[in-house]
Structure 1
Amino acid sequence: MLYLASRSPRRQQLLQQLGIQFEVLDVDVPEVRSPSESATAYVARVAADKAFAGQLQRPGSGDWILAADTEVVLDDQVFGKPADAGAAVAMLERLSDRTHQVISCVHLLGPQGARSACCQSLVRFAALSAEEIAAYVATGEPFGKAGGYAIQGRAAAFVEHLDGSYSGVMGLPLFETARLLRPLAP
């Protein structure tokens, strides 16, 4: 059996697109980057931590646990999820008229060991006015999203250019995930 160790409805929807049966595990792990950790190493570690937390809920079961983490990175600063409207505004102001990186890592843990993959995408935002940012934040969409935006939502109108994986920016890179899961297919 495959379990998705994630509370994210977006990850659940994306995994469903692959036509794979799975169940959801609710995991919560600390997401704190150590000072010496690169952004990619941090995202990969958090994805692995989520998978291990999921495995603890299914000890000795022989099941497969899939977990992922996605972060927005600008100038080597990892933008987590905004804590409040002020933080969301600040993030979007920094992303405005700039290209940022989105790193999404997937970790698969099971009876035959662990496998992982990471995907890096570049997203260019158009110049955003203070009014556009305020209106977007007022929708509530930025909350619970890395970098304070959802590319699959209203923020799609901010994206001037995307170089990489759309599903990776959403939170689960489907190409990499499908490759990791291929050995599990009947």
Structure 2
Amino acid sequence: MASSRPDLAQYPTGFTILRIFQAVLSIIAIVVTSFTINAVVLPANCLLIVASSATLLVSLWGAFAHLSFSRLFSFRAAFALDGALALLWGASTAVLGAQTAVIWIHGSDYCETNKCPDNLMVVSRFYAYIFAICFGLGIIGLIFSIVTLVFHGVASCRQHKYNQIGMNKEAKPIDIAPKHPQDSTAYQGAAGYQSLA
């Protein structure tokens, strides 16, 4: 009987490369978001660091499992973790987008209506740009997570097709000719030969 869970060979080409890209993107997102925590700690940048860190761990586990340690891979665990990561990336991107818009609008409005020192205007714009970059990285992370879920779906459908092979066929008896003749094998002596005369 075939296995009910997808094998690593069922995954589309490029799944390991996507995992490596996710790991690199997570490292970049952690580094860039750490600049915003220096300025102000908001739920958005903390949530993005949590999403990036979790994605880094899951993507490294997935890449190592695909490259060499296939016994470490579990389809259900990978699917559940990637689903949770997609939700986490979506939530962090939504919260970060809302807070970036507030920082962007209020930071520029405040300095236009009040006399701001040039340093404060430069710093507020710098952090607004950094938050916008973090938002962009969050969108890319969300897209990668959704593509990963699509790859899990493709592997699951391929495995479902593989498990259905031969299920719709009717069983027919197979006629096999005997390997040995069914005649008597007892010694018949000369009676078995016809006389020459």
TM-score clears 0.5: no
Asked which structure has the greater RCO (Cα within 8 Å, sep 6+), the reply is 2
> In proportion to residue count, which structure has more helix?
2
Q: Which has the larger radius of gyration?
A: 2
